[in-house]
C-alpha cells in the first residue's frame, strides 16, 4: 500500500485565520472578517501562483499589498515567517511514526509492501525551510512540493506526476488531505482518499484498509 500525506493542516499546523488576526487586528476584528481576509490573502490566485512556484515571495507580497491595501512591512513579516510557523502536529506525527515502524518491520521480515509519500501545495521557500528544520521528511519514500514542479493540487497533472515518478499503483494508493476537492481529484485518478479530520480518524480509516497493526 502507498500512503500519501498532504502537509498543511494534516502533518503541520496551518491556521491562516490566526495569522491574519495576529498580523492585521484592525482589519480582522471579528471571526467573520478574519476569515474573509484570510481567504483574500491565501485563497487568491496570487497565492496560488506562489504555491505553484511561478511567483516569488516578493511578487506575492507586492501583489497582495496592491490588491488589499495591507501594510507591506507587516505582510512581508507574516509571509516571511510562515515556513518556521508550520509546526508538526503531535497526533499526526505519532501516526506517521507508527507507519514508519510498521514499514521497518516489513523490511526486516522481507515483505515490505508499505510505502510513504507526500504531496503538498508548498511554495519553494517554505519547502526548503521544512526540509531544514524537520529531518523526518527524509524518511519518506518520496514526495512532491508543488513549488518545485510548477503544478498545484487539485490539478490532475500533479497527481499523475507523483504516480509516474514513483511507479504507484493507483488501486493501492491512499491519499490523505484536509481539503475535499483535493481528495476528489485524487479519486479521479483512481486513488483512494481519506478526508482528514483527525489523526485518530485517519488511523481508523487506514486500519479499515488493512493496516491493522498501526494501532491508535
CATH number of the domain that residue 93 is part of: 3.40.50.1000
Q: Of the candidates 85, 116, 132, which is a domain's last residue? A: 85
- Do residues 98 and 49 share a domain? no
Model pTM score: 0.95
Q: What is the mean pLDDT of each run of 10 residues along the chain (216 residues)?
A: 97 97 96 97 98 98 98 97 97 96 91 94 98 96 98 98 98 97 98 97 92 68
Domain's final residue, options 40, 67, 85 = 85
Question: Same structural domain for residues 139 and 201?
Answer: yes
User: So what's the pLDDT on residue 61?
Assistant: 98
Residue 6 sits in the same domain as residue 42: no
pLDDT at residue 215 in the model:
60
Give the end of a domain, one of 35, 56, 85.
Answer: 85
pLDDT of residue 192: 96
Same domain for 37 and 62? Answer: yes
> Domain limits at 140?
2-12+87-214
Can you say how many angstroms the Cα of residue 181 is from the centroid of all Cα atoms in its chain? Answer: 13
Q: Are residues 79 and 186 in the same domain?
A: no
pLDDT in tens, 145-180: 999 999 999 999 999 999 999 999 999 999 999 999
Determine contact, residues 23/42, Cβ cutoff 8 Å: no
Domain identity same for 94 and 200: yes
Do both 190 and 139 map to the same domain? yes
- The total number of structural domains in the chain stands at 2
Same domain, yes or no: 113 and 94: yes
Q: What span, in angstroms and rounded, lies between the C-alpha atoms of 184 and 52?
A: 20
Amino acid at each position: 500500500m502507498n500512503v500519501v500525506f498532504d502537509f498543511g493542516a494534516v502533518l503541520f499546523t496551518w491556521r491562516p485565520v490566526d495569522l491574519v488576526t495576529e498580523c492585521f487586528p484592525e482589519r480582522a476584528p471579528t471571526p467573520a472578517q478574519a476569515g474573509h481576509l484570510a481567504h483574500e490573502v491565501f485563497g487568491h490566485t496570487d497565492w496560488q501562483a506562489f504555491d505553484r512556484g511561478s511567483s516569488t515571495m516578493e511578487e506575492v507580497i507586492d501583489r497582495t499589498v496592491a490588491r488589499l491595501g495591507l501594510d507591506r512591512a507587516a505582510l512581508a513579516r507574516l509571509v516571511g515567517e510562515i515556513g518556521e510557523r508550520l509546526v508538526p502536529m503531535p497526533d499526526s506525527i505519532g501516526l506517521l511514526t507508527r507507519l514508519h515502524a510498521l514499514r521497518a518491520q516489513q523490511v526486516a521480515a522481507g515483505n515490505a509492501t508499505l510505502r510513504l509519500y507526500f504531496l503538498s501545495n508548498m511554495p519553494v521557500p517554505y519547502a526548503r525551510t521544512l526540509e531544514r528544520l524537520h529531518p523526518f521528511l527524509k524518511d519518506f519514500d518520496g514526495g512532491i512540493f508543488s513549488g518545485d514542479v510548477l503544478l498545484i493540487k487539485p490539478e490532475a497533472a500533479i497527481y499523475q506526476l507523483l504516480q509516474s515518478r514513483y511507479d504507484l499503483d493507483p488501486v493501492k494508493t491512499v491519499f490523505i488531505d484536509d481539503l475535499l476537492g483535493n481528495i476528489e481529484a485524487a479519486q479521479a485518478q483512481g486513488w483512494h482518499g481519506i478526508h482528514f479530520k483527525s489523526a485518530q480518524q485517519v488511523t481508523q480509516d487506514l486500519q479499515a484498509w488493512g493496516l491493522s497493526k498501526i494501532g491508535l
